[in-house]
Amino acid sequence: MKKNITITDVAEHAKVSKSTVSQYLNKRYDYMADKTKKRIEEAIHELGYQPNIVARSLKQKSTSTIGVIVANILHTFSTQVIRAIEDYCHDSDFHIIVCNADDNPEKEKKYINMLLAKQVDGLIIFPTGGNTDLYQKMVNNDFPLVFVDRTVHDMKIPAVLLDNEKATSLAVEHFVKKGYSQIGIITTSISRHVASRVERINGFKKALLENSLPVIDNYIKSREVEDIQDALADMLSEEVPPQAILVGNDLALMEILAYVKQHSINVPKDLAIISIDEVSFASLYNPTLTVISQPTFEIGEKAASLILEKLQKKKISESQFNYRFEPKLIIRESC
């Protein structure tokens, strides 16, 4: 039977103490001689030593793991933010476990409890908003927690998200500049009061008023993804239909484009479109799509840096709890 190689074997082979090997494994070797580091490295390689991650985690009371719970992993925004979080954590020698809540509070709750049972060091959550008691319990226990893309009312939890009102304002101002005055908005459901969606609708109304345009309730729709096309059909069947549509996110955009194609609607001649979220095909679609892009990698990096700061017990002032990132208008052919 093959012998289980231990840190003691490595120390003896390298002719150093166990504590020196331990310092090397934990990358605390700033003042270690290069010859010593090389001997330990060669000993590990020659013996085929594999550190016992579980034992080290128990000793250090850390698993070097961050849990990431995404509201809906189908969003292009979500996958790009996750990639940035993973890159940042990897550079800091942390791993991530990604879970998809499907915008379902019950599923989110199960994943939170599962990740806590696995003793992750912290959680980054794109919150459904449906587990306020559980969020508060983690806050009360001083458990490292950061929200992304959404805030939850009265929760003292750092959140990293887009300046949603600025995003809708950029879109409305561009529509007006292009000569459109009958402007609508369609986004996915706000039935669970998802902060980013609510902010976009409120920002849209505010931007209309600032541009001396009327707020028409029938031009404002929030629906489940499967009902988006029906919402657009209702809007376009109005006696005076909108000339332009602001689409709240990429999932809604897919439904809008499917409807436009099926009903041979000419964009932008019959209907101008601007979408929030840059999608991979925006510059390839015909016509190319005007979008409001989010700095997804910066948002992901900020979320990761915040969670690691909390792990290092660095104090984050409540005045800095909402980190808002600037949107960018990318003008193409759809408006």
Beta bridge partners of 105: none
The per-residue pLDDT for 280 is 92
Give me the CATH code for the 7-51 domain, please. 1.10.260.40
The per-residue pLDDT for 57 is 44
Below-50 pLDDT ranges, the chain: 1, 54, 57-59
Q: What are the residue boundaries of the structural domains of the chain, listed by start? A: 7-51, 62-161+296-324, 164-294
- Check for a shared fold between 7-51 and 164-294: no
Q: Residue 272: which of 176, 206, 190 has the closest Cα? A: 176
The CATH number, out of the four listed (2.40.110.10, 3.40.50.2300, 3.40.50.300, 3.40.50.970), of the domain defined by the range 164-294: 3.40.50.2300
The per-residue pLDDT for 25 is 79
> Which residues neighbour 62 within 8 Å (Cβ) at sequence distance 6 or greater?
121
The per-residue pLDDT for 297 is 96
Give me the CATH code for the 62-161+296-324 domain, please. 3.40.50.2300
Q: Say whether the peptide bond before residue 327 is cis (omega within 30 degrees of 0).
A: no
CA 40/CA 275 separation, integer angstroms: 55
CA 157/CA 152 separation, integer angstroms: 8
Beta bridge partners of 147: 125, 159
Neighbours of 320 (CB within 10 A): 9
* Torsion sign over Cα 304, 307, 313, 318: positive
Determine whether 208 is exposed, middle or buried from the number of CB atoms within 10 Å of its CB (0-12, 13-18, 19+): buried
The per-residue pLDDT for 316 is 66
Q: Are strands 145-148 and 220-223 parallel, antiparallel or unpaired?
A: unpaired
Neighbours of 206 (CB within 10 A): 15
The per-residue pLDDT for 183 is 98
Q: What are the structure tokens assigned to 171, written together?
A: 């879109």
Q: How far is CA 7 from CA 4, 46, 91, in A?
A: 10, 13, 25
